[in-house]
Amino acid sequence: MQIEGLMTGELDLGMARPPLNRPGLVSRPLLHEQLIVALPKDHPLAGLTRQLMLGGLDGQDVIMYSPVQARYFNELLISTFTIAGATPRYVQYVTQVHTMLVLVRSGIGLALVPAPAATLHPDGVVFRSIGAFRERPVELDAVWRSDRSNPALLR
């Protein structure tokens, strides 16, 4: 919706996940985040004291991002699991992190989420760091139209 707002001129600035291949749009990385694992509090991996590794998620029930509405995260996780040699069982596809955390709390499976999701503090969900192949792989970009003259864009 933000991209459409930018294209119509309704918005001057938006935030989106890459890649942004729309003519007339310019983007710049705004921040990079780490992925963490969200687990039901009674999951066997939730109580481990050692750092979890992606390979350790092989065969686990995982709540996955939608390949259409959350394509960025879907492709990021598929490539990340492939590099790690892990083949989780995708038990549900969702679009929003909030929905994902409710399903984790319900015991449907675990999920990889951007680290700021831990600030939501959902009851019954434990967050654990995970050894990753890339440092802070989740990118969020500032996006604007190249032909806009709003002075705030220069800042």
Nearest Cα neighbor of 125 from 139, 112, 134, 137 is: 112
Sign of CA dihedral 75, 81, 85, 89: negative
pLDDT for 50 = 83
pLDDT for 133 = 60
Task: Report DSSP letters for the chain, one per residue.
Answer: -HHHHHHHTS-S-EEEPSP---TTEEEEEEEEE-EEEEEETTSGGGG-SSPEEGGGGTT-EEEEE-TTTTHHHHHHHHHHHHHHT---EEEEEES-HHHHHHHHHTTS-BEEEEGGGGGG--TTEEEEEEE-SSSS-EEEEEEEETT---GGGG-
- Please state, in angstroms and rounded to a whole number, the distance separating the CA atoms of residues 155 and 148: 13
pLDDT for 61 = 97
The structure tokens 């989106």 sit at 16
**Tokens representing 8?**
């119509």
CA angle 36–21–149, rounded 5-degree value: 105
pLDDT for 38 = 97
- Please state, in angstroms and rounded to a whole number, the distance separating the CA atoms of residues 89 and 92: 9
pLDDT for 112 = 95
Q: Would you list the domain boundaries of the chain? A: 1-32+138-155, 35-134
- The CATH architecture of the domain made up of 35-134 is 3-Layer(aba) Sandwich (3.40)
Query: 83: which residues sit within 8 A by CB, 6+ positions away?
Result: 54, 133
pLDDT for 134 = 65
What's at 51, amino acid-wise? Q
Domains 1-32+138-155 and 35-134 share a fold: yes
The number of beta carbons lying within 10 Å of the beta carbon of residue 23 is 6
Its pTM stands at: 0.82
pLDDT for 155 = 75
Is the CATH code 1.10.1740.10 the one for domain 1-32+138-155? no
Residues of the chain below pLDDT 50: none
